[in-house]
Amino acid sequence: MKNDTFFTVPFPRNTYFVGREAELDALHNALTANGQGQVGINPAGLTGMGGIGKTQLAVEYCYRALAAAHFPDGIFWLNAAFPLREEFSKLGQKLIGLDGLLLPQMQMRKLLVKYFNISELQDLCLELGVNHEEIAGHNDTISSFARGLIQFCQQRNRLPELLNHCFQNRPKVMWPKPWEDEPEQTRSQDDWIGAAFDYLQAHPNSLLVLDNLPDPLTLTQSLGREWVPANLPGALMFTTRSGELYHFTPVPLKVLPEDAALKLLLRHPARQSFQQAEYPEHETAREICQMVGYLPLALEVAGAQLGARPALKLAAYRRTLHKQGALPVIENKRLPVQTAHETGLQAVLMEQWAQLPSDEARLLLRVAAAFEEAAQLPAARLGLMAGLPDEAEDFFEDITLAETLRQLVAASLLELLDKQVMQASDDNEAIEYQDMRLMIRLHPLVREFTMQQPPFSGPLPGVDTKEIGLFCARNLIDAYENFAVLER
């Protein structure tokens, strides 16, 4: 990898990731022709029910691929819950200039590759009075040769001359405008999408990840012109809840095996001894795993609560889950697996919601849940919308935005995204929650659960959860009228 721009995975690596070695191997084989290094064979889809760990497995694979340099042209992550044109446009804006070319130069390289062969590029060099052997990439692919020629002329202020020779040789081709870089605001969405596809077409040793893709069939549909994601030459991975993958390679995810489930549930240092079969409450831990259907999301949230209350007996937590609606182990065997997953996850989330230490934490979840599924949200903006202060005026009374974020992350109900600010850490206190760059995300099932919760009454004046939009709008207006708040 050349720099961080070539790795756009928004999630930090999850230090609690367990198991899934077989699935990781299957995914790698699907993306690289059985590990032979040839990419772009066929898009591969991670499939499974919500909460099964598709996104986390994709994140883990990306970090392993980064360390092993499997995709030297870059690893790029798109949030496919949003329109693909928007996501490819954002990617194009990141990729402009990545390999030394701006938008007009990238367009010209594409045209050179399309309308010239290598011998004709050598002739073009001769017309310019340039020895083609001086051009980087002249003995590689035609795309590398074209890029090297453009960079050679760019460094010597000869791009207009190159453009003129191209026009003389191919006068019917719509060559780019002169080389002055246009202001970004004058570029259309198609320009940015084209830049993304131009880069990915010219760099087949790349990996493109589309997370939360509603319908895999959209990969075969054009985003305009000749932009079809499934036709890109590099590796393409997507995550989806859809059971229909058409001709794409499926990598199905099932629930965790028991040993991995126990590690995730009992990950807190005070609980790790419970993993040993001879420990008195080991059998109770196994029953809890079975009650939640070995579902990774439920196990992660349950493990967070057990870690926060290390003195709590596992039998007491098992009884609490039963009261919240989780099915006992014996009944579990008589019902469909999906039902066990749903009731188990619901019970875990209900208990975690009830145990949150503040109404401010519940309020911030409600505000985040009002946005679209899988949206990546600036924490500072959410704080303004929720009316949470950056600084406490009363040491004992006020709950700040930073404290609220800390509570939700500790409860595994909120994901922090910005790798520049934090990495997944066992030490929640080490994260700089005051940093204004923090980005957060709700798991789609946590968002769905939060939206279903009834209004609550608490110490927050003026909070009407049925009118959360108006409440947030009033807080934003108040904040924008207070320059001291905006400057922080």
Domain ranges of the chain: 4-97+189-252, 103-180, 258-351, 359-487
Q: For residue 160, give every residue at least 6 positions away whose Cβ sits within 8 Å of its Cβ, in sequence order, or none.
A: 178, 179
- What φ, ψ does residue 89 adopt, rounded to 5°? -65, -45
Q: How far is CA 455 from the centre of its chain?
A: 31
The dihedral sign for the CA sequence 129, 135, 141, 144: negative
The count of other CB atoms within 10 Å of the CB of residue 293 is 26
Least confident of 153-157, 166-170, 282-286, 453-457: 453-457
Mean pLDDT in residue range 63-84 = 93
Q: Is 75 helix (H, G, I), strand (E, B) or coil?
A: strand
Mean pLDDT in residue range 366-371 = 91
Give the model confidence (pLDDT) of 403-428 as tens digits: 999 999 999 999 988 654 444 444 44
Mean pLDDT in residue range 454-469 = 61
User: What CATH number belongs to 4-97+189-252?
Assistant: 3.40.50.300
Give the model confidence (pLDDT) of 168-198 as tens digits: 999 988 887 655 555 555 678 888 898 898 8
* pLDDT value for 425: 44
Least confident of 37-46, 290-299, 333-342: 333-342
Q: Is 80 helix (H, G, I), strand (E, B) or coil?
A: coil
The one-letter amino acid at 146:
A
The span from the CA of 105 to the CA of 316, in Å, is 66
Q: Is residue 334 over pLDDT 90?
A: no
In the 8-state DSSP scheme, what is residue 178? P
Mean pLDDT in residue range 20-42 = 78
pTM: 0.81
370 φ/ψ sector (left φ>0, alpha ψ -120 to 50, else beta): alpha
Helices assigned H by DSSP within 356-452:
359-369, 379-386, 401-410, 444-452
The count of other CB atoms within 10 Å of the CB of residue 464 is 9
